[in-house]
Amino acid sequence: MTAEKIALVALVALVALAVLTRPARVSWRVRAAATLGALVLPPVLLAINLWHGTQLVHLRHHPLLAAAGAVALVVVVGALALLFARRNGALPLLIVFALPFRLPISVGGSTVNLLVPLYVVIAAGALAQLWARHPAEPPARERLHRESGTPRRLIGAALSPSGLEWLLIGSVALYAVQATYSGDFSKALENVVFFYAPFALLFALLRDVKWNREILLSCLALALALAVIFAGVGFVEYERQQLFLNPKLVQANQYGDYFRVNSVFFDPNIYGRFLAMVMIAAAVVLLQARTRRTVLAVAVVLLWLWGGLLTSLSQSSMAALLLGLTILAAWRWDTMTILLVAIAVIVLGAAVALVAPPSAHLGLSGEGTSANNATSGRANLISGGLSLFADRPLEGYGSGSFALQYRLHHRTTEEVSVSASHTIPITIAAEQGIVGLVLYLLVLTSAFTVLLRDVGRSPPRIAVAACFAALMLHTWAYADFLEDPTTWALLAIGVALARFSPRASGARAFRWRLSARPRATVSEHGRTGAPA
């Protein structure tokens, strides 16, 4: 176990080198070695951890089949890497396409829905970057922004794009270090191997993409097409009153008074989260549209996706959508008016929840268990998480240990609802203590500063900021922050676009109109580039 802990910390160090280093600052060989190590070490660690378990019995008894699968995987990754090396826009498109698709895999005695297609794309993208060997220098404006615009004070540096990168990698490093004293090291190891390490590489890949109008619109069009298809699958499920995936939810629907669909996501809340993100991005298109045809087309798509969101019955996703649309409205119209309306809506909703009868399971009135019923048992999880935090406020119980410690302290064996607190700050407080909470708040502060600073009238940047805000709210009501690749993808795109944004006082960001033809912009150094 000690060797595995050392290997886990080594993996995070390799990821940090692969993400934070720049070709102009270090030898290409150093970054290449770190990237290769970050790609190879996770499956090795996972195989060592599970080798004597039941998950790998079939592979141990059929080595030729395992070897054939490994060869096929190498061929696919190599072919994709060659495609990415030759076409700049192929990588972000395939990442967007692979983001939603999960495959159920048995790990550690339970079934985990893993983003296997996305892992393949990340590996191929990392290899493509290594093939490039000497990536092109950043545009003059980006280089000027990073070098001459870096504040001297520490707090200013933390609120810069580079500072956000360091904070993100610092969060991964802290998680790995706190995994060494966790009571559930296997869970922490799985989280790093399956989520933190590959998604950090995903961040580096999208951050280094040469984003332009065509690539951004192509990614949005692909996401809209996927959302429309997934909503259609959800409508079929709702009409048939039968789910295609997730047997746990099937059983819950059989004993409930309502029916929730999850399309292809295994989870109605993750399905709703995806739809909410796409709807917010589509709303930006609607706000920028100049022709009636575009307005009608986007409105029809939004109506279709709204119907899909309703069938999921994901309250957290609806709240996230409302927050994202509020931010867009404040960006487009008068900020104070929009904020007052939003506050009024929140107050009205809280009043309805308070006066609702206990039988409606909407509010907090009536019996003491009403709040727990209204939140599907999450109120108990939150209170239990707070008690765990109170026991170890400084360092917490260790990464990935919430479920185990909750069951031990509350003497329950129920694993379904105790997989997490369903409130990310509570989970962080219980597992990582004040140290983890402070770093989490720094990440949020830096992220919103980078995403919103000098946003001006730039539709891509406000779309990313609104989606990230909605995602953050969703994690407060459900789960998964850095465990969700969408978080890393949004921050990577936001960092890339922020580095192109002018920093001159009073200057506005690039004006983008969907009805206008793409125009090149000329930087102060005379270099031509696409607007972001």
Q: Please report the pLDDT score of residue 275 as a whole number.
A: 95
Residue 163 lies in a domain: no
Q: Are residues 221 and 128 in the same domain?
A: no
- 232 and 321 together in one domain: yes
Res. 219 pLDDT band, cuts 50 70 90: very high
13-27, 167-181, 409-423: range with highest mean pLDDT = 167-181
Structurally, the chain folds into a number of domains equal to: 2
| Shared-domain flag, residues 226 and 89 | no
- For the segment 221-261, what is each residue's pLDDT rounded down to a tens digit? 999 999 999 999 999 988 888 877 765 555 455 445 567 88
As a dihedral over the C-alpha atoms of residue 11, residue 15, residue 16, residue 21, rounded to 10 degrees, the angle is 140
Q: Which of 115, 133, 157 is the last residue of a domain?
A: 157
* More confident of the two residues 513 and 98: 98
> Same structural domain for residues 345 and 482?
yes
Number of helices (H) and strands (E) in the chain: give both, helices first.
Answer: 23, 4
- pLDDT for 354: 58
Burial of 300 (0-12, 13-18, 19+ CB in 10 A): exposed
Residues 31 and 107 in one domain: yes
All residues at 6 or more sequence positions from 429 whose CB lies less than 8 Å from its CB, including other chains: 385, 386, 388, 389, 396, 436, 437
pLDDT of residue 515: 40
* Residue 142 located in a structural domain: yes
State the Cα–Cα distance between residues 100 and 97, nearest whole angstrom: 7
Q: Residues 135, 270: one domain?
A: no
Residues 237 and 360 in one domain: yes
Q: Are residues 122 and 10 in the same domain?
A: yes
Give the rounded distance of the alpha carbon of 387 from its chain centre: 28
Pair 237, 126 in one domain: no
Contact call for residues 8 and 192 (beta carbons, < 8 A): yes
Q: Is residue 314 part of a domain?
A: yes
CA–CA gap between residue 126 and residue 207 (Å, rounded)? 12
Q: What is the pLDDT of residue 504?
A: 33
* Residue 70 falls inside a structural domain: yes
Is the CB of residue 273 less than 8 Å from the CB of residue 314?
Answer: yes
Contact 459, 284 (CB under 8 A): yes
Domain annotation covers residue 181: no
426 in a structural domain? no
Q: At what angle do helices 315-332 and 459-477 cross, to 10 degrees?
A: 150
416 falls within a domain:
no
Answer whether 418's CB lies under 8 Å from 412's CB: yes
Q: What does residue 105 show for φ and ψ, rounded to 5 degrees?
A: -135, 135
Tokens of 447: 């992220």
DSSP string of 348-393, one letter each residue: HHHHHHHHS-GGGT-SS-SSTTHHHHHTTTHHHHHHHHHHHHHHST
Mean pLDDT computed over every residue of the chain: 78
The kind and range of the H/E element at 223 are helix 213-240
Q: Are 437 and 392 in contact (CB under 8 A)?
A: no
pTM: predicted TM-score of the whole model, two decimal places:
0.82
In Å, what is the CA distance from 71 to each residue of 63, 65, 66, 123, 360?
Answer: 12, 10, 9, 14, 56
Q: What is the DSSP letter of 159?
A: T
Asked whether residue 343 falls in the same domain as residue 459, the answer is yes
Q: Residue 352 has what pLDDT?
A: 57
44: containing domain: 2-157
Distance CA 197, CA 35 (A): 11
CA distances in angstroms from 50 to 45, 54, 73, 111, listed in the order given: 9, 8, 20, 14
pLDDT tens-digit readout, 388-436: 888 889 888 999 888 888 888 876 655 445 556 678 999 999 999 999 9
**99 and 228 in a common domain:** no
Q: Is residue 165 part of a domain?
A: no
**What's the distance, Cα to Cα, between the start and end of the chain in Å?**
48
CA atoms of 243 and 94, how far apart (whole Å): 27
Report the b/e string of 233-243 with b at 16+ CB within 10 A. bbbebbeeeeb
Give dist(CA 383, CA 221) in Å, integer: 42
Lowest mean pLDDT segment, chosen from 141-155, 417-431, 438-452: 141-155
Q: Return d(Cα 147, Cα 163) in angstroms, integer.
A: 13
